[in-house]
Structure 1
Amino acid sequence: MLTFDHIAVSAETLARGVQDVETALGQPLLPGGEHPDMGTHNRLLSFGPEEYFEVIAVNPAAEGPDQPRWFNLDNFRGATRVTNWICRCPDIEAAIAAAPEGIGVPWKLQRGDLRWSMAIPEDGKLPFGGLFPALIQWHDDAHPAPRLRDTGVRLKELRLHAPEAAALRAALGPLMSDPRVSIIPAEAARIEAVLATPTGDVTL
């Protein structure tokens, strides 16, 4: 039902996030855009023809929504880091029904000719401390990944360090199977992404 779509790397400012990630990967990030409904903006990097990576931050020039922003960005502080991952689905209503409580309600969003629906929690916080994936359904067959220049970077492993590892595994297991995703028991929730780059593996 769910397929890995992209990773969200949060930053206190977009400029700082771009600088941190470009330094770590040795690759330039590509133009993204603004999300007026959420008051955020991003820059992108290809993971191949069907997957990608975004650095995202609050846009200080935008008003934002009447509720907390997605990915809990209103409360983000500290170092640029992977905070969330996003999975696409063919039917977002069905995916929401199968997901844990708190996954959110569908918003219809648009940037240019890209149109999608996304489940956004009312408090901005995804289940399991942000370790459960956000849900997205792309419309009209338009997707960012094929439009991005392929620099050879690929997702090699996504490590979910989870205080409730068994419960997360039980919630996620019936919905998707991706050998790159591992759930690791831990005291605090965090996400690590291991990326294969032309110059070697990088862990964010």
Structure 2
Amino acid sequence: MLQLDHLAVAGETLAEAVAHVEAALGVAMGPGGEHAHFGTHNQLIGLSDGLYLEAIAVNPAAEVLPYRRWFDLDRLSGAPRLGNWICRSDDLEADLARLDVEAGRPVALTRGDLKWRMAVPESGVLPFDNCFPALMQWDVAVTPAELLAPSGVTLTRLEVAHPEADHLRAAVGLGDARVEFVTGAPALRASFDTPHGVRVL
């Protein structure tokens, strides 16, 4: 069964994405690193319950790529926003095979000592207008969520809005009470308990 792993806030620049997260949550983000394969870089913040949040953007120092980046970052414009949610699998190939949507093909990735595989569509665009989660499988014993210092921030609700919310819910097949699928224009909205009260991204 899929499990919620982390959330991704995307920006035109990493500084803008980080500033957006810090302003919204009132907590400083920690360091991250670079993803050479997709020419991106990130910063992270640890959440409670084995989750984390990343701010991510195209790395201006990266070379031009002959393929699309993940998280639809090649088309990103405007203000930073909560752009994607990521679920982990214990058997990525099997989970991809059971889906009735095209969620991408597994791409082997690394960042420092971290190793994982993530399903990335050739277009960079995930099903249901990017409201379908990116699926991944960790290939390390210790994941970022276990390495990050506690921030005092807890995800209480992730609202996934889409005109085909029922179809999306069935396609994902996620048993997580924090994730709610609602009918509406495509959007993600996350609520958190923080040291400063309830905050929303």
Is the TM-score greater than 0.5? yes
- Which TM-score band applies after superposition, normalised by the shorter structure? over 0.9
Inter-CA distance 64–74: structure 2 relative to 1 (3 Å threshold): same
Alignment-derived partner of residue 163 in structure 2: 163
Partner of 1:85: 85
One-letter amino acid of the counterpart of residue 102, structure 1: E
Contact kept, 8 Å, 2:49 with 2:154, in 1: the verdict is no
CA deviation after TM superposition for structure 1 residue 65, in Å: 3.5
Q: Which of 189, 194, 200 does residue 186 from structure 2 map onto?
A: 189
Equivalents in 1 of 2:20, 2:103: separation in Å?
29
Q: Which whole-Å CA distance do the structure 1 matches of 2:69 and 2:156 have between them?
A: 29
**Post-superposition offset of 1:130:** 0.8
Q: Structure 2 CA distance, aligned partners of 1:12 and 1:166?
A: 32
SS in 1 for 2:109: strand
Q: Which residue is 1:72 aligned to?
A: 72
For 1:21-36, list aligned pairs within 5 A.
Answer: 21-36=21-36
Aligned ranges 1:4-153 → 2 under 5 Å: 4-48=4-48, 50-63=50-63, 65-153=65-153
Aligned-pair distance for 1:85? 0.3
One of 187, 191, 196 as aligned partner of 1:199: 196
Shift in CA distance, 170/49, structure 1 to aligned 2, threshold 3 Å: closer
Q: Can you list the C-alpha shifts for 1:26-50, whole angstroms capped at 9, x where unaligned?
A: 1110000000000000010001362
2:77 match: secondary structure: coil
TM-score (norm 2): 0.96
Q: Deviations over 1:114-139 (max 9, x none)?
A: 11011011000001111111111001
Q: Which TM-score applies when normalising by structure 1?
A: 0.95
Q: Is the 8 A contact 2:48 2:155 kept in 1?
A: no
Aligned length: 201
- Are residues 51 and 64 of structure 1, via their aligned partners in 2, closer, same or farther at CA, if it must alter by over 3 Å? farther
Structure 2 residue ranges without an equivalent (≥5): none
Deviation at 1:99, TM superposition (A): 2.4
Instruction: Describe the superposition over 1:119-161 as per-residue Cα deviations: whole angstroms up to 9, x where unpaired.
Output: 0110000011111111110013121111111011011100011
Instruction: State the 1:101 CA deviation.
Output: 2.6
Deviations 1:63-97 (A, max 9, x none): 25421100100001111111110000001101111
Contact 1:115 1:142 in 2 (8 A): no
CA RMSD of aligned residues (A): 1.1
